[in-house]
């Protein structure tokens, strides 16, 4: 599958070519927008739900194309209040919208229209999307493989805010710069939302559930948004204590967006996806 980095799919399947299909679906009465990268071939194909972060300037479209060349469908969508989706944005809405997107992928018409294998869905998320992927996987036993890229651990961040209240003002200033792509939200609200949900959004309490998943945690050593000492290493330590048999972790020498390590990032993810196919979904090997 590493060839997906360097080579296009050949030969062309003229009846079932690779394609891109726009999607709309409802979450809590609001219309969300997205798209699905459909892999070549009759399928059905294993499918990745690829979750972007806050606000989502980096949506990892390069990874979506690579995964599709490797035989995976990839769905990307925008949470309520983000990038043209209806409704108001909040972190709570992000975490509520992900299970709705999974339900959309599992709908019978998605097999016919997009060649989705509803029984073989993997979650991969970046930053806030990384946390959302882990949070969702912990609550959904049907998700057997999940990867977090520079995941932002909201619960531990809330603890840090309480320990150093001066960080609240600087976080509000930072988060205000992220708001132009979002609707009906303030940075002050988002910070208070994190503080109010600190216990629920601490992943340590879901260690037992996550230890039953194939988990891949990636981080960047130069990440100043989600520094690995707070957002990555503590969770790795927790899962290692449970002797998670299918947990792997990698820290790359890069930043929050993996901007100077995209090929290395893709290689790690493709290798992990090969492992997922071999160990969990051997029908595709």
List pLDDT tens digits, range 207-248: 999 999 999 999 999 999 999 999 999 999 999 886 555 789
pLDDT at 19 over 70: yes
Structure confidence at residue 243 (pLDDT):
55
Other Cβ atoms less than 10 A from the Cβ of 183: the count is: 15
Q: How many residues does the chain have?
A: 285
Q: Domains in the chain and their CATH numbers?
A: 2-153+204-275 (3.40.50.1820)
pLDDT at 274 over 80: yes
Q: Average of pLDDT values for 77-86?
A: 98
Structure confidence at residue 5 (pLDDT):
73
**HSE-CB for 64 with a 13 A CA cutoff:** 22
Structure confidence at residue 92 (pLDDT):
98
pLDDT band at 279 (very low <50, low <70, confident <90, very high): confident
Structure confidence at residue 240 (pLDDT):
87
Q: How far apart are CA 24 and CA 80, in angstroms?
A: 12
Q: Average of pLDDT values for 72-87?
A: 98
pLDDT at 9 over 70: no
More confident residue, 5 or 103: 103
pLDDT digits (tens, 9 = 90+) for 139-187: 999 999 999 999 999 999 999 999 998 999 999 999 999 999 999 999 9
Q: Provide DSSP, 137-169.
A: HHH-TT--EEEEES---HHHHHHHHHH-THHHH
Q: Average of pLDDT values for 18-30?
A: 97
Structure confidence at residue 283 (pLDDT):
62
More confident residue, 283 or 282: 282
pLDDT at 6 over 70: no
pLDDT at 285 over 80: no
Q: How far apart are CA 172 and CA 104, in angstroms?
A: 34
pLDDT digits (tens, 9 = 90+) for 26-79: 999 999 999 999 999 999 999 999 999 999 999 999 999 999 999 999 999 999
């Amino acid at each position: 599958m590493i060839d997906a980095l360097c080579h296009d799919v050949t030969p062309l399947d003229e009846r079932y070519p690779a394609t891109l299909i726009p999607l709309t679906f409802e979450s809590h009465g609001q219309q969300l927008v997205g798209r699905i990268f459909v892999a070549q071939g009759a399928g059905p194909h294993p499918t990745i739900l690829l979750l972007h972060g806050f606000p989502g300037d980096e949506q990892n479209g390069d990874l979506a194309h690579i995964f599709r060349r490797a035989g995976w469908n990839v769905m990307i969508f925008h949470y309520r209040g983000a990038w043209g989706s209806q409704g108001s944005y909040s972190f709570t809405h992000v975490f509520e919208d992900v299970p709705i997107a999974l339900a959309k992928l599992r709908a019978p018409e998605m097999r016919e229209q997009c060649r989705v294998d509803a029984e073989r869905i993997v979650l991969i998320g970046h930053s806030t999307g990384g946390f959302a992927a882990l949070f969702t996987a912990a609550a959904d036993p049907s998700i057997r493989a999940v990867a977090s890229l520079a995941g932002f651990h909201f619960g531990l961040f809330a603890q840090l805010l309480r320990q150093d209240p001066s960080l609240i003002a600087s976080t509000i200033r930072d988060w205000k710069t992220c708001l132009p792509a979002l609707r009906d939200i303030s940075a002050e609200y988002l910070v208070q939302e994190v503080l109010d949900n600190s216990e629920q959004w601490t992943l340590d309490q879901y260690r037992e559930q996550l230890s039953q998943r194939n988990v891949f945690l990636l981080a960047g050593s130069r990440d100043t948004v989600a520094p690995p000492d707070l957002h990555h290493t503590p969770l790795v330590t927790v899962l290692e204590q449970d002797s998670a048999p299918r947990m792997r972790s990698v820290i790359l020498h890069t930043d929050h967006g993996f901007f100077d390590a995209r090929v290395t990032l893709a290689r790690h993810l493709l290798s992990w996806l090969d492992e997922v196919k071999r160990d969990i979904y051997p029908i595709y090997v």
